[in-house]
Amino acid sequence: ESIDIKTPSKEYPVFLGQHVIEQLPLFLEKNYSDITKLLIISDEKVASIHLHKVKELAAKSGKQVLEYIVPEGEHAKTFDVFYQCQSFALANGLNRKSMILALGGGAVGDVAGFVAATFMRGIPFIQLPTTLLAHDSAVGGKVAINHPEGKNMIGAFYQPEAVFYELSFLHTLPIKELRSGFAEVIKHALIQDPEFYKWLLTEIQDLAAITDEQYLYMIKRGIAIKASIVKEDEKENGVRAYLNFGHTLGHAVEGLMGYGNFTHGEAVLIGCVYALKLSQYKGLSFDLVEFMEWVQSLGYSTNIPKQLDHTSLIQKMKKDKKTISDTITFVLLNEVGFPELAEINDEIILKQLEEIF
């Protein structure tokens, strides 16, 4: 299976399914005959499970293969790690005829992609996602590292050459990480596809029991939704902002809790609940009770952690790079599948926070 991603700056394929990773050597040989060195960037955990196989396949392309291992999770998305990757690349003679392979979840994809975007003003890279969340992060070309002042503050729009989404890599993913990624699947359904939302609601009752067939379907749908939005608006001047559904409050929760305590998706899910609540206040008709029961049964918390007070959440949301004026902009739904941007004043934000959490 392959999905074509078309953006103004680049077109590239997403190969998705069991064994797609085995097509990597031929793909490299055929399309990148001028590339001499491959640098695989992966994290400690993913490398310990899957690097061996990827290294072997990469070497089959006839190119020299190097590896650089970064820490897991958000610890990978720092200036230090970014600098170390660049230094490693320079020390090992990488140049414009080199390519980076990002093997891991969104964190690895983000830092490795940013290294690729900036090393010698940009060298090609390929995403080899290993998490469910990466159906979101590996497509669309946003790459970034964090600044102590905020998540993803330093980055670029830089599209990969291709994405090889090997489904069997997901089999080793811990349930908590699965839950994180599934929140972005829900997000994609809510903003663009009521039928897909219904499918999820009826089909997915236990995250530990998702079949490959179900993975294939939800990842394909999720990527198609993301692709349709990125095609229209690569650099987030308009509709791409809809992808931030659930992220306004989600990022604030994630940031204030300290990255690592809450996964990205777990925080985003809380943000989705809240965005749905605000949407209802603005007139959306939606069965929020059914939604809450469903996600709770999947193991999500729908409450803001008690130690976070509402005023500091508002302050944090105002620091988000997406907040331009002093009023916070939310992505809300008119209906499932029909998002809109709305500026909501602090008073209403607080009142709704108090009602729901």
Pick from 31, 172, 205, 303: which binds ligand NAD (CB under 6 A)?
172
The minimum distance between CB 169 and ligand NAD, in angstroms, equals 4
Cβ count within 10 A of residue 27 = 17
110: contact with ligand NAD by CB under 6 A: yes
50 is in an annotated binding site: no
20: contact with ligand NAD by CB under 6 A: no
Nearer Cβ to ligand NAD, position 124 or 357?
124
Pick from 17, 124, 140, 246: which binds ligand NAD (CB under 6 A)?
140
Nearer Cβ to ligand NAD, position 77 or 188?
77
Pick from 37, 45, 187, 316: which binds ligand NAD (CB under 6 A)?
45
Nearer Cβ to ligand NAD, position 72 or 346?
72
73: contact with ligand NAD by CB under 6 A: yes
Q: Which whole-number Å values give the CA distances from 326 to 30, 152, 305, 318, 323, in the listed order?
A: 52, 21, 25, 7, 7
The minimum distance between CB 6 and ligand NAD, in angstroms, equals 17
255: contact with ligand NAD by CB under 6 A: no
Nearer Cβ to ligand NAD, position 61 or 137?
137
Residue 184 · residue 222 · CB < 8 Å: yes
Contacts of residue 311, defined as CB under 8 A and 6 or more positions apart, other chains included, come to 350
Nearer Cβ to ligand NAD, position 136 or 234?
136
# of chain residues touching ligand NAD (CB under 6 A): 31
Place of tokens 């970034």: 144
- Cα distance between residue 135 and residue 55, in whole Å: 22
106 is in an annotated binding site: yes
7: contact with ligand NAD by CB under 6 A: no
The minimum distance between CB 229 and ligand NAD, in angstroms, equals 11
Judged by CB under 6 A, the stretch of 15-23, 69-77, 93-101, 202-210 that binds ligand NAD is 69-77
In the stretch 178-197, what mask flags binding to ligand NAD with x, by CB under 6 A?
--xx----------------
Residue 250 · residue 267 · CB < 8 Å: yes
Place of tokens 């990773």: 21
Judged by CB under 6 A, the stretch of 27-35, 174-182, 292-300, 320-328 that binds ligand NAD is 174-182
72: contact with ligand NAD by CB under 6 A: yes
118: contact with ligand NAD by CB under 6 A: no
49: contact with ligand NAD by CB under 6 A: yes
What is the binding site for ligand NAD (CB under 6 A)? 43, 45-46, 49, 72-74, 77, 104-108, 110, 130-131, 133-134, 136-137, 140, 142, 151-152, 169, 172-173, 177, 180-181, 264
Extract the annotated binding site for Zn(2+). Answer: 184, 247, 264
